[in-house]
Amino acid sequence: MVKFLQTLRVKKGFTLVELIVVIAIIGVLAAILIPTLGAQIMKAKVTSADSTAKELLKTVNAWIGENLAASGNDKVACDLKISMNSGTCTLTETANTTNRSGAASNPADAWNARPGCISLKERIEAEFSARTFTGSVFINSSGYVVFAWCVVDKADFSGAVPNGADYEAGFYSGWKSEKKQGVNSQGIPVGTYPKLAYSAT
Protein backbone atom coordinates (compact mmCIF):
# COMPACT_ATOMS: atom_id res chain seq x y z
CA MET A 1 0.00 0.00 0.00
CA VAL A 2 2.84 2.39 0.87
CA LYS A 3 4.60 1.62 -2.39
CA PHE A 4 1.36 2.28 -4.30
CA LEU A 5 0.96 5.72 -2.66
CA GLN A 6 4.58 6.54 -3.39
CA THR A 7 4.02 5.63 -7.03
CA LEU A 8 1.01 7.98 -7.20
CA ARG A 9 3.07 10.84 -5.77
CA VAL A 10 5.77 10.33 -8.38
CA LYS A 11 3.32 10.21 -11.32
CA LYS A 12 1.94 13.77 -11.32
CA GLY A 13 0.36 13.91 -14.83
CA PHE A 14 1.02 13.83 -18.58
CA THR A 15 4.44 14.71 -19.86
CA LEU A 16 4.80 17.25 -22.68
CA VAL A 17 5.70 14.47 -25.13
CA GLU A 18 2.53 12.51 -24.26
CA LEU A 19 0.41 15.63 -24.74
CA ILE A 20 1.99 16.34 -28.13
CA VAL A 21 1.37 12.74 -29.24
CA VAL A 22 -2.31 12.94 -28.25
CA ILE A 23 -2.76 16.27 -30.09
CA ALA A 24 -1.05 14.80 -33.18
CA ILE A 25 -3.38 11.78 -33.16
CA ILE A 26 -6.45 14.04 -32.87
CA GLY A 27 -5.14 16.15 -35.77
CA VAL A 28 -4.66 13.10 -38.00
CA LEU A 29 -8.15 11.79 -37.20
CA ALA A 30 -9.68 15.21 -37.93
CA ALA A 31 -7.82 15.42 -41.25
CA ILE A 32 -9.31 12.06 -42.23
CA LEU A 33 -12.85 12.56 -40.92
CA ILE A 34 -13.65 16.17 -41.91
CA PRO A 35 -13.43 15.63 -45.72
CA THR A 36 -15.40 12.38 -45.39
CA LEU A 37 -18.08 14.14 -43.36
CA GLY A 38 -18.25 16.98 -45.91
CA ALA A 39 -18.68 14.47 -48.75
CA GLN A 40 -21.50 12.71 -46.89
CA ILE A 41 -23.29 16.01 -46.23
CA MET A 42 -23.09 16.90 -49.95
CA LYS A 43 -24.32 13.42 -50.89
CA ALA A 44 -27.31 13.88 -48.59
CA LYS A 45 -28.10 17.25 -50.23
CA VAL A 46 -27.97 15.66 -53.70
CA THR A 47 -30.27 12.85 -52.56
CA SER A 48 -32.72 15.41 -51.16
CA ALA A 49 -32.64 17.40 -54.41
CA ASP A 50 -33.13 14.18 -56.45
CA SER A 51 -36.17 13.36 -54.34
CA THR A 52 -37.64 16.84 -54.83
CA ALA A 53 -37.07 16.64 -58.60
CA LYS A 54 -38.94 13.32 -58.68
CA GLU A 55 -41.81 14.75 -56.62
CA LEU A 56 -41.95 17.80 -58.90
CA LEU A 57 -42.18 15.66 -62.03
CA LYS A 58 -44.97 13.54 -60.55
CA THR A 59 -46.91 16.58 -59.28
CA VAL A 60 -46.86 18.40 -62.63
CA ASN A 61 -47.71 15.22 -64.55
CA ALA A 62 -50.63 14.51 -62.21
CA TRP A 63 -51.95 18.06 -62.67
CA ILE A 64 -51.60 17.84 -66.47
CA GLY A 65 -53.39 14.49 -66.51
CA GLU A 66 -56.27 15.90 -64.48
CA ASN A 67 -56.63 19.27 -66.23
CA LEU A 68 -55.29 19.35 -69.79
CA ALA A 69 -56.75 17.68 -72.83
CA ALA A 70 -54.61 15.18 -74.72
CA SER A 71 -54.85 17.09 -77.99
CA GLY A 72 -55.61 20.47 -79.53
CA ASN A 73 -54.69 23.80 -77.97
CA ASP A 74 -53.95 22.25 -74.56
CA LYS A 75 -50.86 20.48 -75.91
CA VAL A 76 -47.61 22.00 -74.69
CA ALA A 77 -43.89 21.53 -75.26
CA CYS A 78 -41.70 23.70 -73.07
CA ASP A 79 -39.35 24.01 -70.14
CA LEU A 80 -41.35 25.22 -67.16
CA LYS A 81 -39.18 26.78 -64.48
CA ILE A 82 -40.63 26.50 -60.99
CA SER A 83 -39.46 28.56 -58.04
CA MET A 84 -40.82 27.90 -54.55
CA ASN A 85 -40.01 30.35 -51.78
CA SER A 86 -41.67 29.89 -48.37
CA GLY A 87 -45.00 28.77 -49.79
CA THR A 88 -45.11 31.03 -52.87
CA CYS A 89 -44.68 29.50 -56.33
CA THR A 90 -43.47 31.35 -59.45
CA LEU A 91 -43.79 29.79 -62.92
CA THR A 92 -41.70 30.85 -65.92
CA GLU A 93 -41.71 29.22 -69.35
CA THR A 94 -38.35 29.00 -71.13
CA ALA A 95 -36.98 27.44 -74.31
CA ASN A 96 -40.50 26.67 -75.47
CA THR A 97 -41.58 25.33 -78.85
CA THR A 98 -45.26 25.81 -78.05
CA ASN A 99 -46.64 26.98 -74.72
CA ARG A 100 -49.79 27.88 -72.89
CA SER A 101 -48.99 31.48 -72.14
CA GLY A 102 -47.99 32.97 -75.46
CA ALA A 103 -45.62 35.11 -73.37
CA ALA A 104 -42.76 33.36 -71.64
CA SER A 105 -42.46 36.06 -68.99
CA ASN A 106 -45.80 35.46 -67.25
CA PRO A 107 -47.40 32.06 -67.86
CA ALA A 108 -49.01 31.63 -64.45
CA ASP A 109 -52.50 32.67 -65.61
CA ALA A 110 -52.30 30.30 -68.58
CA TRP A 111 -51.70 27.34 -66.29
CA ASN A 112 -55.12 27.59 -64.69
CA ALA A 113 -57.20 24.49 -64.15
CA ARG A 114 -60.47 23.44 -65.65
CA PRO A 115 -63.50 24.79 -63.76
CA GLY A 116 -63.71 23.55 -60.19
CA CYS A 117 -60.03 22.62 -59.89
CA ILE A 118 -56.96 24.46 -58.63
CA SER A 119 -54.27 25.94 -60.89
CA LEU A 120 -50.84 24.36 -61.32
CA LYS A 121 -49.34 27.15 -59.20
CA GLU A 122 -51.79 26.40 -56.37
CA ARG A 123 -51.20 22.65 -56.72
CA ILE A 124 -47.43 23.07 -56.36
CA GLU A 125 -47.86 25.43 -53.40
CA ALA A 126 -50.15 22.89 -51.71
CA GLU A 127 -47.83 19.93 -52.41
CA PHE A 128 -44.58 21.61 -51.33
CA SER A 129 -45.92 23.96 -48.65
CA ALA A 130 -43.15 25.96 -46.95
CA ARG A 131 -40.24 24.36 -48.85
CA THR A 132 -37.79 26.55 -50.79
CA PHE A 133 -36.25 25.39 -54.08
CA THR A 134 -35.85 26.18 -57.73
CA GLY A 135 -36.27 23.64 -60.50
CA SER A 136 -37.52 22.95 -63.98
CA VAL A 137 -39.60 20.31 -65.71
CA PHE A 138 -39.48 19.59 -69.44
CA ILE A 139 -42.89 19.01 -70.96
CA ASN A 140 -42.67 17.26 -74.33
CA SER A 141 -44.98 17.55 -77.34
CA SER A 142 -47.19 14.75 -76.03
CA GLY A 143 -48.01 17.01 -73.08
CA TYR A 144 -46.24 15.13 -70.29
CA VAL A 145 -43.20 15.85 -68.17
CA VAL A 146 -40.27 13.64 -69.15
CA PHE A 147 -37.54 14.96 -66.85
CA ALA A 148 -36.94 17.42 -64.03
CA TRP A 149 -34.07 19.05 -62.20
CA CYS A 150 -34.14 20.77 -58.84
CA VAL A 151 -31.93 22.69 -56.41
CA VAL A 152 -33.15 22.66 -52.81
CA ASP A 153 -32.94 25.65 -50.46
CA LYS A 154 -32.36 28.10 -53.34
CA ALA A 155 -35.20 30.14 -54.83
CA ASP A 156 -33.06 32.08 -57.34
CA PHE A 157 -30.55 29.54 -58.68
CA SER A 158 -29.15 30.19 -62.17
CA GLY A 159 -26.13 27.85 -62.48
CA ALA A 160 -25.37 25.03 -64.93
CA VAL A 161 -28.04 22.33 -65.23
CA PRO A 162 -28.71 19.38 -67.56
CA ASN A 163 -30.82 19.79 -70.71
CA GLY A 164 -32.94 17.56 -72.95
CA ALA A 165 -29.95 16.18 -74.88
CA ASP A 166 -28.33 15.09 -71.61
CA TYR A 167 -31.47 13.18 -70.60
CA GLU A 168 -31.68 11.51 -73.99
CA ALA A 169 -28.08 10.34 -73.58
CA GLY A 170 -28.51 9.45 -69.89
CA PHE A 171 -25.28 11.25 -68.98
CA TYR A 172 -24.19 14.76 -67.98
CA SER A 173 -20.67 16.15 -68.41
CA GLY A 174 -21.43 19.09 -66.11
CA TRP A 175 -20.99 17.10 -62.89
CA LYS A 176 -17.72 17.79 -61.03
CA SER A 177 -16.50 14.21 -61.36
CA GLU A 178 -17.62 10.59 -61.39
CA LYS A 179 -17.46 10.59 -57.59
CA LYS A 180 -19.44 13.85 -57.40
CA GLN A 181 -22.46 13.04 -59.56
CA GLY A 182 -25.18 15.54 -58.75
CA VAL A 183 -22.73 18.36 -57.91
CA ASN A 184 -22.41 20.88 -60.74
CA SER A 185 -19.33 22.82 -61.85
CA GLN A 186 -20.14 25.59 -59.32
CA GLY A 187 -20.13 23.04 -56.49
CA ILE A 188 -23.92 23.23 -55.98
CA PRO A 189 -25.99 20.05 -55.51
CA VAL A 190 -28.50 19.66 -58.35
CA GLY A 191 -31.13 16.94 -58.17
CA THR A 192 -32.22 15.16 -61.35
CA TYR A 193 -34.96 12.74 -62.26
CA PRO A 194 -34.33 10.40 -63.96
CA LYS A 195 -30.87 10.28 -62.38
CA LEU A 196 -28.03 11.29 -64.72
CA ALA A 197 -24.62 9.63 -64.52
CA TYR A 198 -21.32 11.45 -65.09
CA SER A 199 -19.70 11.53 -68.51
CA ALA A 200 -16.42 13.25 -69.28
CA THR A 201 -17.53 14.02 -72.85
**In this structure, are strands 77-85 and 133-139 parallel, antiparallel, or unpaired?**
antiparallel
146, 127, 131: which is closest to 196 by C-alpha? Answer: 146
Q: How many CB atoms lie within 10 A of CB 105?
A: 8
Alpha carbon distance 63, 162 (integer Å): 24
Alpha carbon distance 192, 162 (integer Å): 8
pLDDT at 70: 47
pLDDT at 103: 47
| Phi, psi torsion values for 9, nearest 5 degrees | -65, -40
Strand (E) or helix (H) holding 90: strand 88-98
pLDDT at 52: 94
pLDDT at 7: 62
131, 128, 183: which is closest to 161 by C-alpha? Answer: 183
Indicate if the alpha-carbon torsion angle 40, 45, 49, 51 is positive or negative.
positive
Each residue's pLDDT tens digit in the chain (201 positions)? 656 556 655 566 667 777 888 888 888 887 777 776 778 888 999 999 999 999 999 999 998 888 775 444 566 778 889 999 988 999 888 766 666 665 444 555 567 766 677 888 899 999 998 899 999 999 887 778 889 999 999 988 888 899 888 888 889 999 988 888 999 989 999 999 999 999 877
Task: Please tell me whether the overall predicted TM-score, pTM, comes out greater than 0.75 for this model.
Answer: yes
Identity of the amino acid at 6: Q
